[in-house]
Amino acid sequence: MTIRQQLEERERKDLSPFACLSANSKGRRRPVEPCPVRTCFQRDTDRIVHCKAFRRLKHKTQVFLQPEGDHYRTRMTHTLEVARVARTIARGLGLNEDLTEAAAFGHDLGHTPFGHAGERLLNEIMPGGFRHNEQSLRVVDRLENDGEGLNLTYEVRRAILCHSGPELAETLEGRVVRLSDKIAYLSADIDDALRGGIIYPLDIPAHVAQELGDTHSERINTLVMDIITASQGKDDICQSPEKGRAMADLREFMFESVYRNPVAKGEEGKAQEMIRRLFDYYMADLDKLPPEFQEIREGESPERAVCDYIAGMTDAYAVERYLDLFIPKSWTVK
């Protein structure tokens, strides 16, 4: 037996009957020779971690636009936190940790520069709208690897797509990632908002703090343990009614106090105007798009090509392109 086959046999023996086994994957869009060492989901994790879109996450906004200080979350640190929360839940339920990890690492690859502000703007100006979960799937299916995509397994692709939006993933591992994303961003965003002086500890509703805990680690531990306890022996991922309500109330508080806070989000209008002008510029002169987007322009649509290019930008690169295109440079005598 190869190492991969030994790992697949171990999954059959050790994992929950509700787990998605690597050997039972529905496979890839283009068949490939199995790896002798890695299961198909381990291989997907490696493909995602080594791709360009994953590396760009470190320079993309999570909540606060280009904050001063080293300890605020970026889209990369958020992704790592989601992966850790999701793997802990998967381990506690006897699910496939490798599938869970691959989906967690890939779930936000399609996020725009400047976080949800960028997403809202592209959703406004793109025909048919724009949703980052769909763009994440497009990144792994179409944009990465010189247009060939990463050729991931069906289960990982579905978990990436269904981490937000109306659809639920068929696998419990995909549903774990969906809930872990919410746990990670809510608790981390509280941490960042406290650090930035946007909110203070006593602002958090008392009943939420009593139910979930007062600190970042307490909130995550409470929610993770609740999901593991509530989901044991079930073919779904659940929360207890009490913790589910507390988490929903916490989310509502965060929208009122942080996500719509004019101090925290005061620069978002400028970021959106920047993206709008970049979009209009490239639509007016499509030949200025990089070569890899010309095929998309011809084969799909000009709007799709411009959207793919801008959605893939980091915050810093979008600012750099804007400055280069729209801000006069000082003239000096040589």
- How confident is the model over 133-175, as pLDDT tens digits? 999 999 999 999 999 999 999 999 999 999 999 999 999 999 9
pLDDT value at residue 68: 65
Q: Is the pLDDT of residue 331 over 80?
A: no
Is 255 a residue whose pLDDT tops 90? yes
Mean pLDDT of the chain: 95
Q: What is the CATH number of domain 35-259?
A: 1.10.3210.10
Cα separations in angstroms, 233 against 93, 94, 176: 8, 10, 15
Q: What 3-state DSSP class applies to 74?
A: strand
Name the residue ranges covered by the structural domains of the chain: 35-259, 268-323
- Could you tell me the pLDDT band of residue 64, with boundaries at 50, 70 and 90? confident
Residue 305, pLDDT score: 98
Extended beta strands in the chain, E state: none
CA distances from 47 to 11, 106, 112, 289, 314 (A): 21, 10, 21, 26, 20
Residue 61 DSSP class: B
Rounded-to-integer distance, Cα 78 and Cα 58, Å: 9
